[in-house]
Chain A
């Protein structure tokens, strides 16, 4: 663990926070799709550091985009600039970069977090991509202006308050019938959405990577605690073989 200075933190939308940290060692190593563990409190309760995707990286800084959920994220949300949090990582396998052809990024809710970093790297590698982003309602879409500046973006809201009305998975099905199909899809979001994206990818024969979430302790393959069921039997560790794994590896019906 290293101490990382909080450069800034702001609530970008009610209950959602953008945290900027100074952490040169981790920032220099980090690749899109990887995550860090953060402890932002003294003492042993909560006991475990919390895992978060690396949202963006620039020079010696990294950003986390997170939702306040329970005690850990509540305590994290109360940290001010100038204070120090404990950080370790980066952990996990980076998102794949296709050799040729385009990538579709499919995000649901706060699952959009790792894609800002990814989109930036895809751009520097001149890999074409399209971005699909779904949320319940317009107000739940995070950092929308910034996202629009990153590249081609299509929005889906369940209530139709912005963009396509319906699930983001319905939107990509429509698009797959209308456009050149991508070489690869990468998805991050709630388990139900991931399993639907996996099924769509398989139906269209498009390699699809799902960025999974699991309750984690070590985040680095020590405890065997963060497993999901493998399709061919046995388990894979989300922290080590993932977070993003080929959908064909995963028992999609067992994601929850």
Chain B
């Protein structure tokens, strides 16, 4: 296939990645779907297991999905021993999405993952930094610089910093690049909420909006950032079709992720890839 892409030292068979948190750990998906993609980005991983948020965890809005899963995950030990070997056997490069409450959490995760055969890390900075009074890493460009610089001394291979689409995004992107990030994932979900009008109270308070509703917003962000940074940008936001992916690729993204679309139809990544093949041949 001629579709392969290079993100610095990381070579992908094609530009489509499965986005973090939207394909479980692949347990229930047909192998042909998992092995056809360019890379597998895992559900956010923390050092310790997390049980996640109480229900309700999902709400629907016009053309969008609001989720408040609360980063439920089995923690580092279980992931490394019981889940990762199976993921690595699937074929595509595995990128592990990590998050923590402090810089140190990230460093320890990176160290723990160093000898496991994964292709890279994706660093989720949309989580709160407990030492900074709970303000998200993504709100603090200097904090991001320190975090990324620190990471480069324990992790020498590919890693992408996954930006939040809100906050001082451009400063954060530049700080991450300067500190040594190899790529940027643009972007996570948009902070959002929904209301239960029958009770007059929030249904989901600390939610994140994904899906087609956010595509024009993230598209704009990718376009702007691609003019500011030199490292590759991986687009993530509302990609449902090959057309959506091409829009992102044409405004500066080098690769892209499919998230919410998988929840609607797990065949979506394969459909997007085959449509993309046709479209790229036509050009």
> Which A positions have Cβ atoms within 8 angstroms of B?
1, 44-49, 88, 214-218, 220-229, 233-235, 240, 254
Would you call B51 and A233 a contact (CB within 8 A)? yes
- In angstroms, Cα B27 to Cα A222, docked, is 8
Given A215-B59, A217-B58, A222-B23, the answer on whether A49 and B264 have CB atoms closer than 8 Å is yes
Say whether chain A's binding surface is mostly helix, strand, loop, or mixed. loop
Would you call B65 and A224 a contact (CB within 8 A)? no
Would you call B212 and A44 a contact (CB within 8 A)? yes
Would you call A214 and B55 a contact (CB within 8 A)? yes
Residues of B close to A222: CB separation below 8 A: 22-24, 28-29, 262-263, 266
Residues of B close to A216: CB separation below 8 A: 58
- The reply to whether the CB of B240 lies closer than 8 angstroms to some CB of chain A is yes
Would you call B54 and A229 a contact (CB within 8 A)? yes
Would you call A44 and B27 a contact (CB within 8 A)? no
A-B contact count (CB 8 A): 90
- In angstroms, Cα B59 to Cα A222, docked, is 16
- The reply to whether the CB of B57 lies closer than 8 angstroms to some CB of chain A is yes
A230 (CB) vs chain B CBs: closest residue: B51
Would you call A224 and B69 a contact (CB within 8 A)? yes
Would you call B59 and A47 a contact (CB within 8 A)? no
Q: Output the residue of A88, A216, A221, A240 with the most chain B CB within 10 A.
A: A221
Total number of B residues with any Cβ neighbor in A under 8 Å? 33
- In angstroms, Cα B54 to Cα A214, docked, is 12
Give the distance to chain B from A86, nearest Cβ to Cβ, in Å.
8
- The reply to whether the CB of B52 lies closer than 8 angstroms to some CB of chain A is yes
- The reply to whether the CB of B135 lies closer than 8 angstroms to some CB of chain A is no
Residues of A close to B22: CB separation below 8 A: 218, 222-223
- The reply to whether the CB of B282 lies closer than 8 angstroms to some CB of chain A is no
Would you call B64 and A235 a contact (CB within 8 A)? no
- In angstroms, Cα B58 to Cα A224, docked, is 9
Would you call B27 and A47 a contact (CB within 8 A)? no
Which B residues from 224 to 247 make CB contacts under 8 A with A? Answer: 240
Residues of A close to B63: CB separation below 8 A: 44-45, 47
Give the distance to chain B from A219, nearest Cβ to Cβ, in Å.
8
Would you call A224 and B263 a contact (CB within 8 A)? no
Would you call B52 and A224 a contact (CB within 8 A)? yes
Residues of B close to A223: CB separation below 8 A: 21-22, 24, 58, 67, 69, 263
Given A48-B263, A235-B52, the answer on whether A225 and B60 have CB atoms closer than 8 Å is no
Q: Output the residue of A216, A223, A227 with the most chain B CB within 10 A.
A: A223
Would you call A225 and B57 a contact (CB within 8 A)? yes
Residues of B close to A221: CB separation below 8 A: 24, 27-28
Interface residue from A1, A45, A227, A234 paired with B62 (Cβ < 8 Å): A45
